[in-house]
Amino acid sequence: ESVFSTSLYLGIICSRITFITMLAGQKAALVLACPYEWVGYHNVCYYLLGQQEQGSWDWKLESVG
């Protein structure tokens, strides 16, 4: 498939979701989510490889230095 037909298909789906939501008497809102095990930050999805650690920036700076 071409990029144009894929974009057209997604546009039709979004239009139908918006139309159905409007028919239900609710405000339309399109919510996009990241795939499973991806991290979302400021409307961008990131896939992190390797071991994930939790901590503060101060803790990380101490462990590196």
Give the structural domain span for 23.
Answer: 3-64
- How many separate domains does the chain show? 1
Task: Identify the residue whose tokens are 């298909």.
Answer: 9
How crowded is the C-beta side of 15, counted as CA atoms within 13 Å? 6
Read off the pLDDT band of 1 (50, 70, 90).
very low
Alpha-carbon span 16 to 7, nearest angstrom: 14
Q: What is the chain's alpha carbon radius of gyration, rounded to the nearest angstrom? A: 20
**Which pLDDT value is given to residue 16?**
55
Alpha-carbon span 10 to 41, nearest angstrom: 23
**Which pLDDT value is given to residue 50?**
74
Longest Cα pair distance anywhere in the chain, in angstroms? 59
Q: Which residue has the higher pLDDT, 23 or 49?
A: 49
